[in-house]
């Protein structure tokens, strides 16, 4: 019998290629196991990254809302507003800046007579890490607003950012605003225009842009007109909510006042004042008088028109709300109006409020005004030869005094307090 050849490898030993194949197969299994074990950590890491970015974005937005609320609240604190009024303004300013009150709280602090602190807190559901925890992310932001040198009341304020003649005093007009401020936010080189033979006296005049001055200027709080400031004060009423358009039209196709008439609002309104809806506008015919009992009057779809020698009387305390672009105020020759704000309710010392979005025009002929006239998008004017007197604050997109018109402010003995500050020497700033 022939001898058998020896096997190439010892019995019980595997060929090298078999060992390599087995090792590769075992290594692949190990990698699969390791991947399966690491997968939750990889997913968790990505989830944490996404949620961290989410929190950072929400934090920045919340800080912006806190900053805006602190600035608005500090300005109102400087004006002497009550804590309830300040809280209401802070709430609206925060909401308008993106704060959702359904997700958190607002806490106010009063570190000093010139400082107001605001802390906003919100709880947000976790976008991805809710797989690992059901507790929400709690985010907070704080800001403190400080007022400095706010000595003069803001009594005339143009909010336009670029209008020529945003505040215009035409020839032979007389403006008398003792110890209070005229603020012009327009950056135009001729933002403030004082025509030849006009006279303007006030506490200070602060202008973001430039001025064209040919008339006489007298200041009792500042040494000179403060032009080319580069920035202007904020809208003092920015935090004030517009009246809700609730209820039905008491007059659906317009109201013509052809005999002396008294209107009494009876509809309930969430603002707390009795309300009347005047749809289609109101016209007071010549030589007739319309008296408004206390309450809220919402005018839409047509203007409030006071014709020759006619009168509108609301000195008992009413808020007139011009709700859209059609609801302007126009007054004809020798027409008269007397306004005073409600004695209670959320709109404070405002006598006439024009829709911000609608921006209806407001024109006065002869007016006795106590309270604020506020139309952030409105052109407010006093007609040529017109006269406005009283303890008032005018805040509009632009303000114009026609030729030979007079604007005279006297708050002697008045308890009215208006928001706003002196742009000539004062400021509202964030301290943290």
103, burial (CB in 10 Å: exposed 0-12, middle 13-18, buried 19+)? middle
C-beta of residue 297 within 8 angstroms of C-beta of residue 318: yes
Measured CA to CA, the distance from residue 110 to residue 132 in angstroms comes to 40
Residue 339's pLDDT is what?
A: 98
Residue 423's pLDDT is what?
A: 44
For 131-140, what is the mean pLDDT?
73
For 139-160, what is the mean pLDDT?
82
For 143-163, what is the mean pLDDT?
84
For 145-161, what is the mean pLDDT?
81
Tell me the pLDDT tens digit for each residue of 293-347.
Answer: 999 999 999 999 999 999 999 989 999 999 999 999 999 999 999 999 998 888 9
Tell me the pLDDT tens digit for each residue of 387-401.
Answer: 999 999 999 999 999
DSSP character at residue 53: H
Which positions ≥6 away from 16 have C-beta within 8 Å? Answer: none
Going from the C-alpha of 131 to that of each of 49, 54, 124, 136, 212, the distances in angstroms are 14, 16, 15, 12, 66
Please report, rounded to a whole number, the percentage of residues in the chain having pLDDT higher than 90. 59
Q: What are phi and psi of 92, to 5 degrees?
A: -70, -40
Measured CA to CA, the distance from residue 94 to residue 75 in angstroms comes to 14
pLDDT category, 52, cuts 50, 70, 90?
confident
pLDDT category, 23, cuts 50, 70, 90?
very low
For 47-56, what is the mean pLDDT?
70
Give me the DSSP letters along 22-35.
HHHHHHHHHHHHHH
* 25 vs 282: which has the higher pLDDT: 282
For 70-85, what is the mean pLDDT?
75
pLDDT category, 424, cuts 50, 70, 90?
very low
* 220 vs 405: which has the higher pLDDT: 405
197, burial (CB in 10 Å: exposed 0-12, middle 13-18, buried 19+)? middle
Crossing angle of the two packed helices 16-78 and 83-96, in degrees rounded to 10: 140
Residue 81's pLDDT is what?
A: 64
For 119-143, what is the mean pLDDT?
77
Q: What are phi and psi of 246, to 5 degrees?
A: -90, 170
Residue 373's pLDDT is what?
A: 99
Tell me the pLDDT tens digit for each residue of 177-231.
Answer: 998 899 999 999 999 999 999 999 998 899 999 999 999 999 987 889 999 988 8
* Residue in the structure block whose two tokens are 């506490």: 203
48-57, 134-143, 216-225 — most confident range: 216-225
Look over the chain and give the mean of its residue pLDDT values, rounded to a whole number.
87
pLDDT category, 38, cuts 50, 70, 90?
low
Tell me the pLDDT tens digit for each residue of 242-291.
Answer: 999 999 999 999 999 999 999 999 999 999 999 999 999 999 999 999 99
Taking alpha carbons only, the member of 334, 311, 318 closest to residue 386 is: 334
Please report, rounded to a whole number, the percentage of residues in the chain having pLDDT higher than 70. 82
Residue 73's pLDDT is what?
A: 85
Which residues does residue 263 pair with via DSSP β-bridges, in sequence order?
292
For 367-374, what is the mean pLDDT?
98
For 344-367, what is the mean pLDDT?
95
For 133-159, what is the mean pLDDT?
80
Residue 430's pLDDT is what?
A: 86
Residue 133's pLDDT is what?
A: 64
* 33 vs 68: which has the higher pLDDT: 68
């Amino acid at each position: 019998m022939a001898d058998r050849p020896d096997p190439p490898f010892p019995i019980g030993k595997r060929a090298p290629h078999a060992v390599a194949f087995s090792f590769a197969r075992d290594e692949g299994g190990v990698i699969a196991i390791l991947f399966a074990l690491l997968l939750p950590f990889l997913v968790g890491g990505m989830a944490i990254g996404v949620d961290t970015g989410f929190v950072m974005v929400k934090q920045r937005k919340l800080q912006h809302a806190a900053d805006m609320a602190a600035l608005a609240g500090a300005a109102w604190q400087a004006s002497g507003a009550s804590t309830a009024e300040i809280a209401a303004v802070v709430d609206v300013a925060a909401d308008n800046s993106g704060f959702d009150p359904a997700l958190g709280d607002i806490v106010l602090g009063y570190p000093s007579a010139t400082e107001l602190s605001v802390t906003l807190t919100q709880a947000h559901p976790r976008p991805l890490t809710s797989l690992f925890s059901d507790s929400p992310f709690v985010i907070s932001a704080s800001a403190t607003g400080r007022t400095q040198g706010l000595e003069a009341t803001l009594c005339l304020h143009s909010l336009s950012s670029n209008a020529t003649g945003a505040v215009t005093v035409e020839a032979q007009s007389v403006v008398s605003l003792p110890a209070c401020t005229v603020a012009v936010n327009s950056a135009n080189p001729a933002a403030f225009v004082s025509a030849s033979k006009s006279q303007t006296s006030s506490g200070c005049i602060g202008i973001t842009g430039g001025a064209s001055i040919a008339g006489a200027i007298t200041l009792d709080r500042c040494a000179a007109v403060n032009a080319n400031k580069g920035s202007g004060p904020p809208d003092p009423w920015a935090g004030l909510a517009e009246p809700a358009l609730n209820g039905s039209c008491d007059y659906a196709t317009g109201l013509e006042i052809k005999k002396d008439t008294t209107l009494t609002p009876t509809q309930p309104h969430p603002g707390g004042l009795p309300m009347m809806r005047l749809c289609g506008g109101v016209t007071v015919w010549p030589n007739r008088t319309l008296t408004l009992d206390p309450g809220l009057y919402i005018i839409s779809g047509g203007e409030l028109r006071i014709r020759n020698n006619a009168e509108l009387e609301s000195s008992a305390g009413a808020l007139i709300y011009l709700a859209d672009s059609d609801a302007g105020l126009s007054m004809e020759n020798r027409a008269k109006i007397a306004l005073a704000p409600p004695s209670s309710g959320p709109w404070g010392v405002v006598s006439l409020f024009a829709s911000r979005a609608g921006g209806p025009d407001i024109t006065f002929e002869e007016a006795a005004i106590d309270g604020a006239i506020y139309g952030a998008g409105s052109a407010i004017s006093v007609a040529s030869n017109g006269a406005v007197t009283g303890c008032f604050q005018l805040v509009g997109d632009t303000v114009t005094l026609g030729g030979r018109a007079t604007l005279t402010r006297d708050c002697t003995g008045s308890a009215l307090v208006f928001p706003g500050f002196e742009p000539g020497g004062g400021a509202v700033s964030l301290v943290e």
